[in-house]
Chain A
Amino acid sequence: DQQVKQNSPSLSVQEGRISILNCDYTNSMFDYFLWYKKYPAEGPTFLISISSIKDKNEDGRFTVFLNKSAKHLSLHIVPSQPGDSAVYFCAASANTGNQFYFGTGTSLTVIP
């Protein structure tokens, strides 16, 4: 049973506009969330994270929002650039284990 879900397999956005990638989770014990970016034939690379004590974390063009009551997080990329075209995975872990559970990924295409 998938504990972390990304319901949109793909997303296309015009360059300069905002990209919003969504992620839902079912396990209320999750307290740490991460986003990873993956280019073809490469390993995923860490992008941004957020702890459950926060509802927002920002790093340059990337902002992650966490809504604990809805068990939902989102990644905003503003402005989107063609180099952002990649597959984005969200992941979650509970403090007890350092085990990370990943979503199925969303393929973002930024159109020049």
Chain B
Amino acid sequence: DAEITQSPRHKITETGRQVTLACHQTWNHNNMFWYRQDLGHGLRLIHYSYGVQDTNKGEVSDGYSVSRSNTEDLPLTLESAASSQTSVYFCASSDPGQRLFFGEGSRLTVL
């Protein structure tokens, strides 16, 4: 079955370190997204991509970057992790019917 997977599922890091969260989907979807979930804020869009070599900023993109070198992967990089980036991160892709399919999430703690 096609799916979307995230790794690592849990990560603890220190302030200032670079962190990369991986996202891999096997649906061959063009559109991919990264969200973060925080209490009181719901899901907020960080970055998104409509295809290979395309990346766009979402509503909370500061301190994050993405790259899209192939259809299947959209890694999210925190260049210099901050405590405010402690969160649960969800990767998603969307089908032509505009339904989002989410990964299981990556819980990041920045100490």
A6 and B50 CA atoms in complex are apart in Å by 28
Interface of A (DSSP majority class): strand
Number of A positions contacting B (CB below 8 A): 23
Interface positions of A from 50 to 95, Cβ below 8 Å from B: 89, 91, 93
- Are A102 and B99 interface neighbours, CB within 8 A? no
Place the interface of chain B in its size category: 20 to 34
Q: A43-B104, A104-B40 are in contact. List 16 more A-B contacts (CB 8 A).
A: A32-B98, A34-B99, A36-B100, A43-B92, A43-B102, A44-B90, A44-B102, A46-B101, A49-B99, A91-B100, A98-B48, A98-B94, A99-B48, A99-B58, A100-B94, A102-B43
- Does A41 contact B105, Cβ atoms closer than 8 Å? yes
A101 to B98, CA, bound (A): 13
